Structure 1
């Protein structure tokens, strides 16, 4: 099949409306395969009742994880360092542990951005010290912030790039600093594959209910005020599932086929050797083959991590608000439930009490320091002058300019203008399917010039 291109974003009215409604464009491009990120999955039937003990499944999981990393390593050149963007979360720490086993600390580089006092930044430093690896750090406000540099970072990935302001820009700067001669390891879909949002064993979803829930979770609060009158953003949702739910639940199909493929997976700059070990055949076949109840909420994944890398996972994690993975399962479940409720309230724009900052976006999206404030005002003024938003949006743009709009909606408006500027400077590479996750299934997790693949390693949006 000949390659297909995204429509030029500046000329794609429907794409612009989708971007405003969701912060990304959920519709697949012409010729884009659904569930392309799962290309290496063998789609074997799931074990409904384990024929082996949980302990045996954990041992199998440790082996499958090792095989996934060995397979990735066999696909890349031997030269250069092995780089992982390290945060306080689970996936990047798992990658670090596997790289230490495969290559030793002298060949591994951890990279982190953020600020002292943020959990991702501080916990990553503790983990890197314990691992004995070189740690490249970038403090958020020391990066060269400008509209031009932000547009460059968009063009280094794909247009439109979701949320180009914030962590994705810092990730781009660190990639450039570390260099293309090295091998990068990314945790794309690590949480999704391991069952972070997977339905429980007793949950039964229709396709329509799964779409409704996905829509509620991803629709940006307050976006009605900037959308064209009469527009129904639900029209961008997939019309039908791809697989029978006995193989992959309907919520999982929406997560992998829309969120991961069209949003999360867009973050990797092109021109780098990037491995995505959680999307390799051995790991996909293992995780999608275990009983639902053991994949649910990452139960088995966490037991595998505790078994494989106890020294690293005895340190604090952002996942459990500073507690380690070695705390009791009950304590971990309580922390995760509280975090889920808080995240949902934040997406709905509800007021929340102050919380310990976890990642770099918390500080950057306040837009209260001169570089950030200047960039915001400049681009919102440019967006207003374009006339791409209807008349009712004028007041919303002013509220964003004056700090009266939610950080999410403000970031979407800023991101829209940065993507429109990138579209005006359109380069073929920015719209080439080979440079985008989800376009070329054969490239996922392999060594290429552009492979899809930190919402781990302090590189999430």
Structure 2
């Protein structure tokens, strides 16, 4: 989706070849992607019109007309009841204003910037790059990218921002404002002593919510494709799909390299269930330069390309548009892992914010934050303070009262919408990616779950074991072992000795001397020549990895991805 609001009715420019399917609405011009930006409701007097991009499943109790009237009146409360994965563009003609709206999680990317008295907006950053907005990677955003694999605030284009989830941008020639209409407020209190997490009432409620979510998101007769992995989330979707569809009524796929967890375990699950399954071996691709370049464009140059290099959309048939995925699930159900004694620790001031930041850095940067200061030639204290600023609550309503809630809110509000959802970006304008875990009723349940039951996904795992014990018993990503022994049969998964990366054996590829290692070495040399990263540090990390004295896969790939981003958007 791409558009411009130009009150002067000028022609504008830089539409990046997107003139097909143009919707001209006076000063508002919209350029429609394949999936469709559609008018969903209009005031009978044409005072306002609402357009939607994505999938709006439920317009809430007031309906579409009531939604439009509320937005025209400046009310945002009805937005919290909308269900689906969508972005809205609202033209308030009588007021000379445009509203941009995101769903609760921000699952539909929506970037915007003001230039020459006009509001430019798009679901793809590259289109705005073609409208005169230039690359500018600030020191702070460089630190964020190298630490967390993604830019957490703003974008890499000067003057362009991304509208967060659950937000409304109101724009006119007189000014603009952004406000949130909903927030990630989590339960703080623990359950009464002796109460079982897997109580029958709680399991039944979860079961009912999950059945409803899948039935709403996966449409009957759509012949969807399910992306299987070695984790829990795609298994839970599979369980529910098999309750409503025969194995022949949908297909499954995975991608990666033979011997990796996701690749082998997904094939095992598909075999056990008699599913139509395809496995894409990325080690056979060879054209990694193309894959990196395409992934960089599709993910807006905002994340590293470790998880973005895939051709999963190729598994779709000519008449298929729906790819079912399980991203974001662990963020909602309890990705944060804390010692139980720390769950109710209160964040009272700067020292506590610093402690929370240190935990987040250790947990989500895989320890790489300690290498970043030397790589970028910045004082360690400066880098750490930049992380405290971003992670300690600035710009997101401040930290929550307890450490557990603060970390959960950071992950759901800041990290997952940036990294997890951008990993889904490839083919986003032509593929409908369906994620039942984004259902608002499912989300509302997990916000009420006590911290100790969200911690390490305890309740979530118990629910899957209760709902589908036969699938829960199969090997999980992250568990070592050659295979599964069942009766007299041994299911040999053929796992590599160290399959820690779920999809691709990047560690081995970098030491293999093949086309992938050659491409990464060339990219590292180029980014060193730019002077953004220390050449001495890059060469040291490369030599250590090649000798086997250190495993520097993630930092090397992050630095190489940075060069691809600068080439693509520079």
Would you call these one fold, judging by a TM-score over 0.5?
yes
Of Structure 1 and Structure 2, the greater strand share is in: 2
Q: Which residue of 1 aligns with 2:372?
A: 223
Q: Which residue of 1 aligns with 2:112?
A: 4
Rounded Cα–Cα distance in structure 2 between residues aligned with 1:21 and 1:315: 33
Q: Which residue of 2 aligns with 1:211?
A: 357
SS at match of 1:81: coil
Tell me if 1:299 matches 2:454. Answer: no
Rounded Cα–Cα distance in structure 2 between residues aligned with 1:179 and 1:157: 23
Alignment of 1:109-124 (within 5 A): 109-124=251-266
Q: Which residue of 2 aligns with 1:26?
A: 152
**Bigger-Rg structure (1/2):** 2
Question: In the superposition, relative to structure 1, how do residues 325 and 9 fare at CA in structure 2: closer, same or farther (>3 Å)?
Answer: farther
Q: Which residue of 1 aligns with 2:87?
A: none
TM-score, normalised relative to structure 1? 0.73
Rounded Cα–Cα distance in structure 1 between residues aligned with 2:378 and 2:299: 31
Rounded Cα–Cα distance in structure 2 between residues aligned with 1:247 and 1:374: 44
Question: In the superposition, relative to structure 1, how do residues 103 and 40 fare at CA in structure 2: closer, same or farther (>3 Å)?
Answer: farther
27-36 or 308-317, which deviates more: 27-36
Alignment of 1:31-70 (within 5 A): 32-33=163-164, 48-49=190-191, 54-70=199-215
Q: Which residue of 2 aligns with 1:388?
A: 532
Kindly provide the CA deviation profile for residues 317-345 of structure 1, in whole angstroms up to 9, marking residues without a partner as x. 22443599999xxxxxxxxxxxxxxxxxx
Task: Check the 8 A contact 1:79/1:182 in 2, yes or no.
Answer: no
Alignment of 1:68-79 (within 5 A): 68-73=213-218
Kindly provide the CA deviation profile for residues 220-269 of structure 1, in whole angstroms up to 9, marking residues without a partner as x. 34222221434525325145353744797011112122321222221012
Question: In the superposition, relative to structure 1, how do residues 189 and 149 fare at CA in structure 2: closer, same or farther (>3 Å)?
Answer: closer
The structural deviation recorded for 1:133 is: 1.4
Q: Which residue of 2 aligns with 1:155?
A: 297
219-228 or 130-139, which deviates more: 219-228
Q: Which residue of 2 aligns with 1:448?
A: none
Kindly provide the CA deviation profile for residues 68-102 of structure 1, in whole angstroms up to 9, marking residues without a partner as x. 2122125xxx5643222212211111111122223
The structural deviation recorded for 1:199 is: 4.5
Question: In the superposition, relative to structure 1, how do residues 185 and 234 fare at CA in structure 2: closer, same or farther (>3 Å)?
Answer: farther
Alignment of 1:11-410 (within 5 A): 11-14=136-139, 15-29=141-155, 30=161, 32-33=163-164, 48-49=190-191, 54-73=199-218, 80-160=222-302, 162-165=303-306, 167-170=307-310, 173-178=311-316, 181-197=320-336, 199=338, 202-203=341-342, 204-206=345-347, 208=353, 209-217=355-363, 218=365, 219-230=368-379, 231-236=382-387, 237-240=390-393, 242=397, 244-245=400-401, 249-268=405-424, 269=426, 270-271=428-429, 272-322=431-481, 355-357=498-500, 359-363=502-506, 366-367=509-510, 368-389=512-533, 393-402=534-543, 403=545, 406-410=552-556
Question: In the superposition, relative to structure 1, how do residues 39 and 96 fare at CA in structure 2: closer, same or farther (>3 Å)?
Answer: farther
Q: Which residue of 2 aligns with 1:338?
A: none
Rounded Cα–Cα distance in structure 1 between residues aligned with 2:137 and 2:249: 45
Task: Check the 8 A contact 2:152/2:415 in 1, yes or no.
Answer: yes
Task: Check the 8 A contact 1:214/1:254 in 2, yes or no.
Answer: no
317-326 or 231-240, which deviates more: 317-326
Question: In the superposition, relative to structure 1, how do residues 410 and 118 fare at CA in structure 2: closer, same or farther (>3 Å)?
Answer: same
Question: In the superposition, relative to structure 1, how do residues 358 and 113 fare at CA in structure 2: closer, same or farther (>3 Å)?
Answer: same
Question: In the superposition, relative to structure 1, how do residues 80 and 42 fare at CA in structure 2: closer, same or farther (>3 Å)?
Answer: same
Cα RMSD for the two superposed structures: 3.4
Rounded Cα–Cα distance in structure 2 between residues aligned with 1:257 and 1:26: 10
SS at match of 1:388: coil
Rounded Cα–Cα distance in structure 1 between residues aligned with 2:294 and 2:164: 27
The structural deviation recorded for 1:9 is: 7.6
Question: In the superposition, relative to structure 1, how do residues 127 and 324 fare at CA in structure 2: closer, same or farther (>3 Å)?
Answer: same
Rounded Cα–Cα distance in structure 1 between residues aligned with 2:202 and 2:404: 20
The structural deviation recorded for 1:202 is: 4.1
TM-score, normalised relative to structure 2? 0.60
Q: Which residue of 2 aligns with 1:441?
A: none
Task: Check the 8 A contact 1:220/1:409 in 2, yes or no.
Answer: no
Of Structure 1 and Structure 2, the greater helix share is in: 1
Task: Check the 8 A contact 1:86/1:92 in 2, yes or no.
Answer: yes
Task: Check the 8 A contact 1:44/1:247 in 2, yes or no.
Answer: no
Task: Check the 8 A contact 1:199/1:251 in 2, yes or no.
Answer: no
The structural deviation recorded for 1:302 is: 1.6
Rounded Cα–Cα distance in structure 1 between residues aligned with 2:483 and 2:470: 11
The structural deviation recorded for 1:140 is: 2.4
The structural deviation recorded for 1:123 is: 1.5
The structural deviation recorded for 1:188 is: 1.7
Task: Check the 8 A contact 2:187/2:450 in 1, yes or no.
Answer: no
Which sections of structure 1, spanning at least 5 residues, go unmatched? 328-353, 425-461
Task: Check the 8 A contact 1:88/1:318 in 2, yes or no.
Answer: yes
SS at match of 2:252: strand
The structural deviation recorded for 1:59 is: 1.6
Rounded Cα–Cα distance in structure 1 between residues aligned with 2:371 and 2:403: 36
Tell me if 1:416 matches 2:562. Answer: yes
